[in-house]
Structure 1
Amino acid sequence: MLFTKLALQLISLSALTAFTLAAVLPTRSDLESRVYPRATELIQSGLVFTIHNVKADTVVDLSAGDNSTITGWSLNGGKNQQWTTLWSGQGWNFQSVATGLYLGITGAAGNGTNLTVASTPTDWDIWHDTVNETNYRVFVPNTTVNWDLWGFGDATSGDPITLWRTWSGIHQTWRFVQV
């Protein structure tokens, strides 16, 4: 009798715990409605953006000097700081409003690889930052390598934008501001 009463109390407690957890934990559909893995809520194909580094507030700038170097630079309103986002079906491409060239890299993607431009598009993944969902990270697809403002986000104009393995530094996070 004592064993039966204890078993019933244990079952009741277990059911109450499961009910409480179900009421507190978000469901998969709740999470999906808050998380936009490919940043489609703001970034849409054909729109033009300036892309700001969260730490330095410099923008992704195509050097007017050589039309190939990509650096962080103070916002000046130039077309060399404006990028059209284009969805390729596999990833995002960034096309320079000034030249029509595409943001890419030369060589293999790895720590310290400089961003540059090319005549052919490069696919990128854009994901929300896991710490602050209003910020974004731009990755080489299927890797943990993302854009990084050199010098841990040094705000000096001309600081290169490179690739680096993702970590918690906010100098690897970006804001997209529609032009």
Structure 2
Amino acid sequence: MANKSFESLKALYIAMDKTWNKIAQEYHFKCNGCEDNCCTSLFFHHTYIEKAYFYHGFNKLAQNRKKIIKDRAAIYIKKTLSGNLRINNLKIICPVNEDGQCLLYLYRPMICRLHGLPHELSRPGLESVRQPGCNAGLFDAKPYIKFDRIPFYQQMAQIEIKFRQDFNKTDKIKQTIAQMLITL
């Protein structure tokens, strides 16, 4: 049953990547792994479907590679989060990043995929909220290109609702990649 859910998620990821790449090309922007990249940003992930898909990719790795990543995840948590989940450090490399490359790139969550570009959140009945994008893009000197994340969020919500129903998931999730890996 999870594989059917994964097909919906993969289709959404393809649409996200296509849109991100199109807009990045219009900005003449290429991500080169600077200090402001998604791999050093502290993100919390909130969907069980993405966690399950991430695990699916992780489980395809060799045992020795998985152990190295899990060891890095433990260090990440120790350095980043204290016992009461207070944030200590915001710029530690993600445990699945090796030599500047994501080892689970095809399985990375939505927020990793959408990071970097200026975007907006246009919610019905509310004023749109714009975010500036990463520092490396020098986007302030360029005209804004419309990139509304809300349709992607809405599609993700529908996929997540179905996944939660299918797998009887009722509690909330708020975990970093490292936390997800430690709970494997």
Task: Report the TM-score, using the length of structure 1 for normalisation.
Answer: 0.22
Greater strand fraction, Structure 1 or Structure 2: 1
TM-score of the aligned structures, taking structure 2 as reference length: 0.22
